[in-house]
Amino acid sequence: MGIDKADTGFVLLSSGLVMLMTPGLALFYGGMVRIKNVLSTLLQNFFMLGLMSIIWAVIGYSLAFGEDLGGGLLGGLNHVFLAGVGSELKDGLTIPTNVFMIFQAMFAIITPALFTGAIAERTKFGALMLFGGLWSIVVYSPVAHWVWGPDGWLAGMHALDFAGGTVVHINAAAAAFALVLVIGPRIGHKEEPMPPHSLPLTLLGAGLLWFGWFGFNAGSALAADGIAASAFVSTHLAAAAATFSWIAAEWLRTGKPTTLGAASGCVAGLVAVTPAAGFVTPMGGLAIGLVAGLVCYGAVVIKSRTRFDDSLDVVGIHGVGGFLGALLTGVFATTVVNPNGQNGLLSGNPAQLGVQFVGALVTLAYSFVVSFALAKLVDGLVGLRAPADDEVIGIDYTEHAERGYALY
């Protein structure tokens, strides 16, 4: 088996699509904050492209996919500074090693960008980047090794995560929860309205995320084959179904379907199908999307009745959606779609549901505990939260000396 040009081109194209998701996420988040914080929100996401790419090349890739140090817990240092990562064939695949590396880099970039939404409008840029850089080394890379490393301990248990429901979404949401607890709510939370300043921006971001997610999920087949095609179709149907079910629930509850609901619903469906995309039938993907839209909408409604200030609903969409998706993978997975996967509950293997639960729960617990400790450390060293006066004026001006819109 040698390098296949079609597979190589497909994975390179998918890498570009996943890269586009980070600016898409920036727009999705940027539209939801108040006008005085739009640039800081955009920059917190966009800068991850620079910072996380460097960390991934220097050490992150090696910790995630290097030679196992024992117990399936962490990769070694044999690939630091991309040592041994060139155009040679990647073991077990039909693409070069450097193509596999850069595809995985895009996941390492967007994962810490996700949790910035939970603490939007009140965080110091430098402190957040320090936290994100350390987090990518001590949380993201180990979890990626557990699930996707050939010797990872969760991989050895046959925990299924096709494209990152556990590695990306549960992982990021657990960090988001920890950060909110450490930083606290925005000034005026529950006391004054904080509506999105530009829903057109948010809807544009959601559209870019939907588009890029085809690379995220179908590209995770790492070959231009039938599994990639099935993942592509399942991804689209899940997003469509969740958009429908979120809007339906919102319409029934409030009497008004909203643009924000449509944007949130599609992302909820995309999150939930991520672990399942290459293991379930298209109808399985559709079912996952329908359930995800309803459950994530319910989670966001429940959160709105508390004082927990997850600014942009990272926990409700990525945490709840990711955990739900991991469990439903254990329900709908079938080896008819992917012979390298496992059968789920509906295909006669109820034990897979337990395996999925263990993988999701352990990741949630590890990420939360380490993220909380890391947030406390960074907060003690440099302070994560912007000063109160800066928060009131707006982070765009006080942190970056810029304004998002010149209104003359």
pLDDT exceeds cutoff 90 at 406:
no
pLDDT for res 230: 98
Say what the pLDDT of residue 402 is. Answer: 96
Task: Judge whether 392 lies within some domain.
Answer: yes
CA–CA gap between residue 345 and residue 330 (Å, rounded): 6
Residue 364: pLDDT over 60:
yes
Task: Decide if 407 is inside a domain.
Answer: no
- Residue 347, classed as helix, strand or coil, is helix
pTM attached to this predicted model: 0.97
What CATH number is given to the structural domain containing 214?
A: 1.10.3430.10
Mean pLDDT of the 374-403 span: 97
Q: What is the pLDDT of residues 156-214, one digit of tens each?
A: 999 999 999 999 999 999 999 999 999 999 999 999 999 999 999 999 999 999 999 99
Q: Is residue 255 part of a domain?
A: yes
Looking at residue 186, the DSSP 8-state letter turns out to be: P
Contact partners, residue 159, CB within 8 Å, separation at least 6: 147, 166, 355, 356, 358, 359
Mean pLDDT of 14-32: 98
pLDDT tens track for 297-308: 999 999 999 999
Within a domain: 194: yes
Selection from 271, 226, 237 nearest residue 25 by Cα:
271
Going by C-alpha positions, the residue among 249, 370, 364 that lies closest to residue 318 is 364
CA dihedral for 146, 150, 153, 159, sign (positive or negative)? positive
Confidence (pLDDT) at 408: 52
d(CA 383, CA 381): 6
In a domain, 150, yes or no: yes
Tell me the per-residue pLDDT of 234-285, one tens digit each, with 9 for 90 and over.
999 999 999 999 999 999 999 999 999 999 999 999 999 999 999 999 999 9
Nearest 5°: CA angle at 139, between 137 and 140?
A: 75
DSSP 338: -
Q: What residues make up the domain containing 145?
A: 5-73+83-400
Distance CA 181, CA 166 (A): 21
Q: What is the mean pLDDT of residues 125-137?
A: 98
pLDDT computed for residue 1 by the predictor: 72
Pure H helices in 85-220: 97-115, 125-135, 141-148, 153-156, 171-183, 199-218
Total domains, the chain: 1
If we measure between CA atoms, which residue out of 321, 97, 364 comes closest to residue 209?
A: 321
Mean pLDDT of the 356-368 span: 98
Residue 256: what residue type?
K
